Structure 1
């Protein structure tokens, strides 16, 4: 079981519930947590997120964050020394962390915050979608995996683990590429922060 924390909407400079879905034999369990922020200006809200947001690395804070763990259980069939995966049951535990405004916002700032927060949720949702796609691709790769001369299924287990790791690496690259696009100078994250901070 590996815990992955994705770099999600890191603050730029100084300004800067639970649900379940099922797909075939992959379960996606979602938990959402919040942390409190306050302020009556966009700059104050950003500063509050910078103080209270989830850790991103050793020193930095993030606006929001997506993390997940993945687990796989297998049903094996053994026939005359051949081992086959009959069923691959995956569980993806997705955890989202978002800011929650606890102060009363002026009407104009309230509208800016709503647009900002919608963008944050879309960003984190994309991370969750990529993780879900990873699980589906892994399930497809594992189903029907068959290895001969493997009466104890040890070779099949090793090959299953190798495939899980390879697909994880492929989709982790997709997660990183998405963040690189979003966090580039002049990118979507900078746009969201600047739009919230404007006076």
Structure 2
């Protein structure tokens, strides 16, 4: 019985990670067309802008994952040191996905539904990466102690440095994931090809 309880305890998330959950939202942008080709062209024209190419033209994505992260932190001076007692995140993840504005024929709708589900699954992986990053920040933050910091300034600088490293790593992992997904034989390459060519 004790072994079962011990195993159950090991499977539970740590208290630092268990007391928060992300808020996930879905935003859509309207696309037009009655054929798969028209819908795909409309995505290229109306997809979310994610930057500019070297020539200064807008770069658009098929779908996009954006997040807003804020914190409630409790810094406490203790015997000349500073301890970060709690760090509670508020994470809002927004997935932006295309949505046909008009009614589609049954055949086109079936292909669209499969394509849309694949896009949503891809963006969810980006979302999971963001959640993982925030979990790491919480794990690092709670209980963080910096000596000789009665004003709790050094601890903030140390935390900011760590957050910057994690943020850069998360963005790179996201880019690497997209490179594989859109690369030869990648899931999104197959998804797009299946949408445009299948049936």
Shorter chain as normaliser: what TM range? 0.7 to 0.9
Aligned twin of 2:7: none
Q: Quick check: 1:47 aligned with 2:41?
A: yes
Structure 2: which 5+ residue stretches go unaligned?
A: 1-16, 53-57
Listed one character per residue, the Cα deviations across residues 62-88 of structure 1 (whole Å, up to 9, x for unaligned) are 111111122223101212211100001
Q: Quick check: 1:90 aligned with 2:84?
A: no
Query: What value does the CA root-mean-square deviation take over the aligned residues?
Result: 1.5
- Relative to structure 2, which stretch is displaced further, 80-89 or 62-71? 62-71
Larger radius of gyration: 2
TM-score (structure 1 length as normaliser): 0.83
Aligned twin of 1:126: 125
**d(CA) in 1 for partners of 2:149, 2:59:** 49
Counterpart selection for 1:56 from 29, 46, 50 = 50
Counterpart selection for 2:26 from 11, 28, 32 = 32
8 Å contact 1:70–1:92 — kept in the other structure? yes
Listed one character per residue, the Cα deviations across residues 112-149 of structure 1 (whole Å, up to 9, x for unaligned) are 11110010000011111100010001100111111111
**d(CA) in 2 for partners of 1:166, 1:26:** 22
8 Å contact 1:38–1:103 — kept in the other structure? yes
**d(CA) in 2 for partners of 1:86, 1:50:** 48
Give 1:157 deviation, angstroms: 1.0
Aligned twin of 2:150: 151
Of Structure 1 and Structure 2, the greater helix share is in 2
Q: Quick check: 1:185 aligned with 2:184?
A: yes
Give 1:25 deviation, angstroms: 4.5
Give 1:29 deviation, angstroms: 2.3
Aligned twin of 2:116: 117
TM-score (structure 2 length as normaliser): 0.83
**d(CA) in 2 for partners of 1:55, 1:45:** 17
- Relative to structure 2, which stretch is displaced further, 40-49 or 98-107? 98-107
8 Å contact 1:50–1:63 — kept in the other structure? yes
Structure 1: which 5+ residue stretches go unaligned?
A: 1-22
**d(CA) in 1 for partners of 2:152, 2:146:** 8
- Tell me how many residue pairs correspond in the alignment: 177
